[in-house]
Structure 1
């Protein structure tokens, strides 16, 4: 969303979207993270349409999106009741995270209720749930009065969409796809995912805007990294979640990261990239200059050295550069620090999956 110009939808449009979902159709919805391709989470045929549209492997789980009802007279939302049809064993720690961060870019993984469809969970005994913070998504979910499955609204493994135009371009020619325009996404990368399904430890499965330090500071809940709990025979039991494949979020143009001050090294590493190179540089650093540059033609693209602003524009930058016909895109390695872990994760997966043959990587 951007400023006051956000095109909030009329109740008639929201009503049409609700009817589309109830009829088993797909609706692209804005979230504060990225745009999602939404279907009724209780309808197996509708869920299958998501997998077909995205060309996504059917064993790859989806996240259920919920919203609390609009009750002004309640001091606190009864999340336990809202989660009851989906999740078992909602712990005290889970409620601390929910009451602090929902609605917001935090997904929690629980043991699933027996009524949750296998199509939704990739056949696992866990389910991932979040409450999006975008007003259009909240309005839609409240009127729908149920959960929707909504992975990012893009072809599987490709760069996630952060505007309605991105979604339309991604699914050009797909008849009947309703796209709700909620402006540009604020956060710009997918939600943080925390696994609470083992009962005793909260484990980070995907980094995002909400960091373990922030969770600790605001709730007192310690979030472990997967590597910290090895030895408990738990490493094999971590649920598979969205965005956990090695290749993901990838442009068709080859994408590489360069270490601080090592642009020339990065370029000499890829001599086969011909001549047109787009080089992202921090706004806090001086221009690279053309001296001794092996690339016949390169262009500097300034990117924010603030982690929040960088995340907000990351996919927009990758999409735009991907469409400009460069032979190679170079991005600086993000600085060390938890606040950069989300974008570092996305960039590393994007690099691995990038290039014209990126579809070959998707199964890795």
Structure 2
């Protein structure tokens, strides 16, 4: 079932969703990044249903979503009681990051409290936590009065959903899945993930809209890349986190990236000439033209050259193109610069996992 968040019955619908979560059911809900497939984060049986519905390996950790405190008018929101049921200790850096970026598209990884089920953490002693900014997600979390695990509401390894309709098409057979409709997701790619579990430094585990440069500017905290971290040098393993498999976010149609002006090179990877190719081109570029590829039918699709706009439409574009029966989808390589790292990361994984056998890619 689904609901329209703007309609007058929305609070009744949210109450129904809360009851469903308390009963151990699954509820798909909108966040500002992508739609999540939600379950009670303290209920191991409910969490197992999430893995089963997605076809996701059980050693793959989930992110726990929590509500922001009610009083936003305080000079300093108190996040400590929100995190107390989930994490072992909260550093000064963690508090700075929460005050600067929560609620929002930033996930923080901590040493977990012993009460957090291992099912939610992929068997690890760390837990990933985020306070989403979407008003519907916040209302659901407040009324639920607990944490909700919420991996993207799609089959494992596939393109993440950015609308309620995407979720419905992913889980057509699941008649008991409740879907809260909060419109299209604004950010459009998953949250930035920062590991704070080593206690002494912040390490970037997954790029997203919030960049290390923005974190440094707003908080003075230096975010290390995995290779830079002392922990990595000493051979300590960084925690596994959502979306870190090499093949992920992938369409069934083969997807490749091309360098500036090198569409033909991308085509030559496929010895059998592809007849119908969808080519994404920057809105700032001139048209490709059909010169020199008589056997190929190109259709161009303009994509924004602004990183934030590109991110918000990336999954929507991949889903739509995937359903149009192209033989090949070509996307331009994103420019250098950390504001593009999040979409570059998603595109690389989508390329690697794409193609008709993408489900087998995702599983190994």
TM-score by length of 2: 0.96
Residues 1:212 and 2:212 aligned together: yes
- Structure 2 contact 5–136 (Cα < 8 Å) conserved: no
Partner of 1:7: 6
Q: How well do the aligned residues superpose, as a CA RMSD in angstroms?
A: 1.5
Residues 1:347 and 2:347 aligned together: yes
Give, in angstroms, the shift of residue 332 of structure 1. Answer: 0.4
Residues 1:266 and 2:262 aligned together: no
Partner of 1:98: 98
- Match of 1:53, SS state, is helix
Give, in angstroms, the shift of residue 296 of structure 1. Answer: 2.5
Pick closer, same or farther for the CA change 1:234–1:103 going to 2, 3 Å.
farther
Partner of 2:192: 192
Corresponding residue pairs, total:
360
Residues 1:124 and 2:124 aligned together: yes
Pick closer, same or farther for the CA change 1:267–1:112 going to 2, 3 Å.
same
**344-353 or 223-232, larger mean C-alpha shift:** 223-232
Give, in angstroms, the shift of residue 175 of structure 1. Answer: 1.5
| Distance (whole Å) between structure 1 residues aligned to residue 68 and residue 212 of structure 2 | 25
- Structure 2 contact 69–82 (Cα < 8 Å) conserved: no
| Distance (whole Å) between structure 2 residues aligned to residue 176 and residue 13 of structure 1 | 14
Partner of 1:288: 288
| Distance (whole Å) between structure 2 residues aligned to residue 201 and residue 73 of structure 1 | 30
Pick closer, same or farther for the CA change 1:329–1:232 going to 2, 3 Å.
closer
Structural mapping, 1:157-196, within 5 Å? 157-196=157-196
Partner of 2:58: 58
Give, in angstroms, the shift of residue 273 of structure 1. Answer: 5.0
- Match of 2:345, SS state, is helix
| Distance (whole Å) between structure 2 residues aligned to residue 231 and residue 191 of structure 1 | 23
Give, in angstroms, the shift of residue 153 of structure 1. Answer: 0.1
- Match of 1:179, SS state, is strand
| Distance (whole Å) between structure 2 residues aligned to residue 272 and residue 346 of structure 1 | 27
Partner of 2:323: 323
| Distance (whole Å) between structure 2 residues aligned to residue 69 and residue 195 of structure 1 | 23
| Distance (whole Å) between structure 2 residues aligned to residue 350 and residue 189 of structure 1 | 12
CA offsets per residue over residues 211-265 of structure 1, 9 Å max, x none?
0000000000000000112575455420000000000000000000000110111
CA offsets per residue over residues 253-285 of structure 1, 9 Å max, x none?
000000011011111221325301000000000
- Match of 2:146, SS state, is coil
- Match of 2:352, SS state, is helix
- Structure 2 contact 59–123 (Cα < 8 Å) conserved: yes
Give, in angstroms, the shift of residue 177 of structure 1. Answer: 0.4
CA offsets per residue over residues 166-193 of structure 1, 9 Å max, x none?
0000000112100000000000000000
Give, in angstroms, the shift of residue 295 of structure 1. Answer: 4.2
- Match of 1:58, SS state, is coil
Unmatched runs of 5 consecutive residues or more in structure 2: none
| Distance (whole Å) between structure 2 residues aligned to residue 73 and residue 288 of structure 1 | 52
Pick closer, same or farther for the CA change 1:125–1:231 going to 2, 3 Å.
closer
Pick closer, same or farther for the CA change 1:180–1:6 going to 2, 3 Å.
closer
- Structure 2 contact 227–233 (Cα < 8 Å) conserved: no
Residues 1:305 and 2:291 aligned together: no
- Match of 1:270, SS state, is coil
